Structure 1
């Protein structure tokens, strides 16, 4: 009896570390995408995020440590649509052909001039496409865990459906004439298209650009003529421009919107769902009658 018990314990001890070693190493280019991967991958995946909380993916400069992270990963999840211009150099410096997964596959991009708008996650319906792409990629990389990934993806997609309904109900309560705001850069085009709030920004889809004096003057004139009620800061942008516009127009600063990045665990938006709920609460509070 003791011999059988000992053999059983040895078998359990051998299986447990083997299972732990099966956790797949993956990399996500930025925090919002990393959150999608974590929700689908669960405890079968080790997720490393390159551009962390409250950081700007548009102007990110990879480090040698990032190259090592990519070299150790089985999959690298990226947004695409021109967002990670630094990625090809990073993959090359990693010294191997990493399996790149573009999470926006299947999404028809909006255009800002001749550029694609990369901020597709700002529509919750699009977020579900990100999740579906993550599910497919993880399942292909680890077929033994495919049912686990499928279950996680379905459960998370149900939460996203509930989130989308809540956002639509909240925006419907904002008077139509007040559904206009100023934000730092053009990160909310997909949100505007999905939920009917107009966003005007002095900076384009990338924070690398700088608004001219003429651009700022035009924005100020537009705020006054259209009676735009609120301007918003963003967690990744210099707040001075928005504060200046607020001072010159009398439009109130409605708070901070989270556009391209989540916050740390103790912040207002540590997850994608938290981010969207924070943003719609800030918008309805500032734009309500």
Structure 2
């Protein structure tokens, strides 16, 4: 009988325990870069469901019935501050009342950030009253070295509260991720020191990065709409005045207007995806493009 317990039941008990130990936490996020953040901190300890899928624009997003069904399995939802969240986050919560809803960084934090960097100084576009902003703050906080670290800590703290047995893993991974962010920032802070470089984009997504690195972002898009003729003339003057050689366009938006302006100005067009999964690599590539042009 004892042999039976040792040979059969003990391995079975370990097997069952391992199954429960290996259960993953289901997490939902608004945009793809958040999925990268969660994976950097939790690795294989989580499954991540992304609402705005690849190639889709957060500005025009509405969830599918299938996505709403998938939310029912999530323990956590991490918001980021995109416009659609104002209309949908409470409805997401109603689909799964047990899901912990983590809202975007508080306005108070963003207010302090804006005062620190004088956010409007380095971003040249009519965007301050635009529908793309969350309480007058641009929503692209993952495109900021400083704010992305705060969001990463927000993710880690939430995971620790829900799954404290893996606290050490989350803390170590968070620190490693923050170190990578700091290394990238320090490198490009040197690259762009006193350069006062300007860059041109279609949709103004990189204004936080511009603030932090002393760059100037110019955008073709006006108030979430394609540029009017008068604004196009201004853009052409900006291109010439700032010796801009490249225009960055995003795959989530129509490229027709941007390509017309680029052709008229005689400048190159390159793709830059603010919603890429490989966040660090994508950001490094984008900043290298600015530095080299």
Is contact 1:26-1:48 (8 Å) kept? yes
Partners of 2:291 and 2:84 in 1: CA distance: 29
Partner of 1:267: none
Deviation at 1:54, TM superposition (A): 3.2
Quick one: structure 1 residues 213 and 90, their matched pair in 2 at CA, closer, same or farther if it must change by over 3 Å?
Answer: farther
Deviation at 1:222, TM superposition (A): 2.5
Partner of 1:167: 188
Partners of 1:170 and 1:271 in 2: CA distance: 22
Partners of 2:25 and 2:187 in 1: CA distance: 34
Partners of 2:163 and 2:246 in 1: CA distance: 48
Partners of 2:90 and 2:228 in 1: CA distance: 31
Q: Number of paired residues?
A: 271
- Which TM-score applies when normalising by structure 1? 0.84
SS at the partner of 1:210?
A: coil
Q: 2:149 aligns with which of 125, 128, 134?
A: 128
Deviation at 1:77, TM superposition (A): 0.5
Partner of 2:22: 20
Quick one: structure 1 residues 181 and 225, their matched pair in 2 at CA, closer, same or farther if it must change by over 3 Å?
Answer: same
Partners of 2:79 and 2:207 in 1: CA distance: 20
Partner of 2:173: 152
Deviations 1:156-194 (A, max 9, x none): 11111212122223334xx836x1121001111101101
Partner of 2:124: none
Partner of 2:123: none
- Which TM-score applies when normalising by structure 2? 0.83
Partners of 2:104 and 2:157 in 1: CA distance: 10
Deviation at 1:2, TM superposition (A): 4.1
Q: 2:201 aligns with which of 171, 183, 202?
A: 183
Partners of 1:116 and 1:37 in 2: CA distance: 23
| Equivalent residues in 2 for 1:82-161, closer than 5 Å | 82=83, 84-88=85-89, 90-91=91-92, 94=95, 96=97, 98-105=99-106, 106-107=109-110, 108=113, 110=119, 112-114=127-129, 115-161=136-182
Quick one: structure 1 residues 125 and 83, their matched pair in 2 at CA, closer, same or farther if it must change by over 3 Å?
Answer: farther
CA root-mean-square deviation: 2.4
Is contact 2:220-2:258 (8 Å) kept? no
Deviates more, 1:65-74 or 1:230-239: 230-239
Deviation at 1:258, TM superposition (A): 2.0
Partner of 2:61: 60
Partners of 2:164 and 2:76 in 1: CA distance: 14
Partners of 2:289 and 2:86 in 1: CA distance: 31
Is 1:7 aligned with 2:9?
A: yes
Q: 1:243 aligns with which of 229, 250, 259?
A: 259
Partners of 1:26 and 1:211 in 2: CA distance: 38
Deviation at 1:223, TM superposition (A): 2.0
Partners of 1:214 and 1:97 in 2: CA distance: 51
Deviation at 1:83, TM superposition (A): 5.9
Is contact 1:257-1:282 (8 Å) kept? no
Partners of 1:162 and 1:226 in 2: CA distance: 29
SS at the partner of 1:145?
A: helix
Quick one: structure 1 residues 20 and 226, their matched pair in 2 at CA, closer, same or farther if it must change by over 3 Å?
Answer: closer
